A and B are shown apart, each in its own frame.
Chain A
Amino acid sequence: MAKVTFNTDMCKGCGLCVDACPKQCLAIAQDKLNPKGYSPAYMKDQEKCIGCAFCATMCPDCIITVEK
């Protein structure tokens, strides 16, 4: 199974990873704020992740690490 980890403190909540995900398993945590004051992206549905790294490819802040 694939594993996606976010460096949440560096996330700016732009949502490009959420749009890039072909399995719709990412989301923006609307009820949370990180130290920068943004709502960060998080893995909503780990089971569906296929480890394609599309999210990391589109992330402008290099905060996503993908393992498979």
Chain B
Amino acid sequence: MAIVFEKPKALTDAPFHYCPGCPHGIIHRLVAETMDELGIEGKAIGVAPVGCAVMAYDYFACDMIEAAHGRAPAVATGIKRCRPDNIVFTYQGDGDLASIGMAETVHAAARNENITVIFVNNAIYGMTGGQMAPTSLPGQVTQTSPYGRDVNHCGWPIRVSEMLATLEGPEYITRVAVNNVKNVRNAKKAIKKAFQNQIEGKGFSLVEVVSACPTNWGMTPKQALEWIESDMLPYYPIGVYKDRSAKEDAAE
């Protein structure tokens, strides 16, 4: 019998500290599988965020560094410019990338830094106990919006992929989800392309992964994945928002 599925080698044996049913584990695995397939584990350098994924450095077998809150794209810029032969990626949540780290993200994209950004959007601050995030949906109940997010008072949620796609800089901006097997497989393809772009020197690639937070949403893992489909995806549609190389190829 041949093994058709096993834990990728780019993940360590450390058990994930995430809550039961948290899709962070799935997304970690997709990144690790990509590293295995491209054979880049030895020269990959990951930048961990602040948030639930703060301990990603324990789980990835490649070199990792921890950035200050939201500053992962700035740290990754420094690493990539000093060591252009290494493959540099950041792994960030929505409280990290879309809130305090928005400036670093937008400017890294505008400069078309040759890095890969994995952006996990679960519409809430997970680690700190479920506060409202810039990506929380209108009407969503969180610890700091107990009557639901009031858009007149708190503003509208930010669609990061659409916003970054308006810039001239970035190479590849896409949004995927991990709520079912089909979407997980498509997410894997997008993440692999994002790393491939960096290897080919094409520039800034961002993969927004629509994820879940069963604990802070107050749902079972199954209900949380269903809520992605029913509530998250209508506001955050899956799709490729920018793919400059494909556009240039089509024009030729």
Q: Which positions in A face B, CB cutoff 8 Å?
A: 3, 10, 12-16, 19-20, 38, 51, 53-54, 56-68
Whether a CB of chain A sits under 8 angstroms from the CB of B235 is no
Query: For chain B residues 26-70, which have a beta carbon within 8 Å of chain A?
Result: 26, 29
25 contacts between A and B (CB under 8 A): A12-B20, A13-B20, A15-B220, A16-B21, A16-B222, A19-B222, A20-B181, A51-B4, A54-B181, A56-B5, A57-B26, A57-B185, A58-B26, A60-B18, A60-B21, A60-B23, A61-B16, A62-B16, A62-B25, A64-B5, A65-B7, A66-B3, A66-B5, A67-B3, A67-B4
Whether a CB of chain A sits under 8 angstroms from the CB of B250 is no
- Provide the bound-state CA to CA distance between A58 and B24, in Å: 11
- B residues near A12, Cβ cutoff 8 Å: 19-21
- B residues near A56, Cβ cutoff 8 Å: 5
Contact yes or no, B4 A62, CB < 8 A: no
Give, as a whole number of angstroms, the nearest-CB distance from A60 to chain B. Answer: 3
Please judge, given known A-B contacts A12-B20, A38-B20, whether A62 and B29 are in contact too, CB under 8 Å: yes
- B residues near A19, Cβ cutoff 8 Å: 222, 225
- Provide the bound-state CA to CA distance between A15 and B26, in Å: 14
